[in-house]
Structure 1
């Protein structure tokens, strides 16, 4: 064999090897060994692209014999995925909401307007159920600003409140004097209470009330960061002093006005006077034309 013939032979062998290498790589990329379908892949008549069949990894249109695609190929890239809108938090206020605006509960309130009944410090199984019974008797909904240390042991009462249409607010965990706490301790007091409410009823509170009505900048900031609006009151029945049922009733009736927010207590001491007072003054307020309602969150 001449040198030229040897050279031509080598070139033919090289080209054949290259061709075979490309063909093998192409087979691997397009589905691997024929006759060895991916377990679970669709086979038989009708299977293939456009058939709507589901093969390995649950990817529609995977044809028989194809290797499973990388999982990241089946998910959109982060940059391409639709962005979830961030939760809108309330603005940080410098003072709490003191009363309802005239249209806070919508139209049709009647000539005398709407009021809100609120109850602090509970829930307490000795008093809260009786108050809930009175509210149910008159078809009235109210707000309950709960303390976490009471709520965690009485979650059934939280669920009853929500089931009967009432609103649960955050009143800290142990009812401390807020200005006496450092920021970390205050964040724990408020955050833990929101957590136990969310775990119990499925949603965290959207209203917050400072114990003793003692607010500071940190309370407004932490409350807003947790998605809550601060609420105070315009009528204090002073029932926490246990002044007698008659005195509590008189304060509630004397302070009644459109937009009023009435402060009562369903825990934190002997609240038997409070229970009786609510049962006494509530029908009188309704008879005067007041409508007990719930606040609407301000626009965010």
Structure 2
């Protein structure tokens, strides 16, 4: 790292962290709105245009957690949007094919999930996204149309890069922080508050996801009993 590169990297990192906290506050406001912002090519979708809800699943595929999650979703007739990590697709393309074969939508979640994502250079951002596109295409024969930034760490450069590659940016409204493993009751409480038009964030990779699966086993029938219908994010495009 040369003398100029070091300070530039530090500034990018600090800027990305500031954006992270601003977006955290913005998501809080979205969760309180009657209708979250659907978004578009130059702004992430925080919600859906219709009355349905969308379950999104990040950080897979994972050999321990993806198969039981797929079984659970199948039992309840739920279609979800899986944002896959390129490195994990390369390791287990068979799992990506299982997700596809089960009728779920696949999106791009970067190649290696670097954080803070917005601190990467334009070239690094493009490489992360393009390589993941190729891994998913090779595994399932379908080109993703959706992108979710790792950690939801958006910036003008991330959004411009996403748009230049023909992808729609997708964020979320409901976040149970299941990646922290806060306990099944807490995940259940947060997910149970899901309202029409909201996008729900869960995970099937990046750690022990037994709490996520146990919580969803409780919540999915509750939400469908309320008359909420699950759709993939693309169903609203």
Report the TM-score range of the alignment, normalised by the length of the smaller protein: 0.7 to 0.9
Cα gap change, 1:92/1:136 in structure 2, threshold over 3 Å: closer, same or farther? closer
Instruction: Rate the CA distance shift 1:271–1:95 in 2: closer, same or farther, 3 A.
Output: same
TM-score normalised by L of structure 2: 0.80
Q: How much is the aligned-residue C-alpha RMSD, in angstroms?
A: 1.6
Alignment of 1:74-89 (within 5 A): none
Is the partner of 1:114 in helix, strand or coil? Answer: coil
Change (3 A) 1:228 1:251: same
- Figure out how many residues of one structure are paired with residues of the other and give that number: 198
Residue aligned with 2:211, SS: helix
Within the candidate set 122, 131, 150, 1:183 is matched to 122
Q: Which residue of 2 aligns with 1:227?
A: 166
Q: 1:97 aligns with which of 42, 45, 57?
A: 45
Q: Are 2:94 and 1:146 aligned? A: no
Q: Determine which structure has greater relative contact order: mean sequence separation of CA pairs < 8 Å that are 6+ residues apart, divided by chain length.
A: 2
Q: As a proportion of its length, which structure holds more helix? A: 2
- Displacement after TM superposition at 1:124 (Å): 0.5
Unaligned runs of 5+ in 2: 1-38
CA positional deviation for 1:298: 7.0
- The answer to whether the 8 Å contact 1:171/1:211 transfers is yes
Deviation, structure 1 residue 174: 1.1
- Of 216, 223, 226, the residue aligned with 1:285 is 223
CA deviations over 1:263-286 (Å, ceiling 9, x no partner): 001011111111111111111111
Off by >4 Å, runs of 4+ in structure 1: none
What are the equivalent positions in structure 2 for 1:256-295 lying under 5 Å apart? 256-295=194-233
Work out which of the two has the higher radius of gyration on C-alpha atoms and give 1 or 2.
1
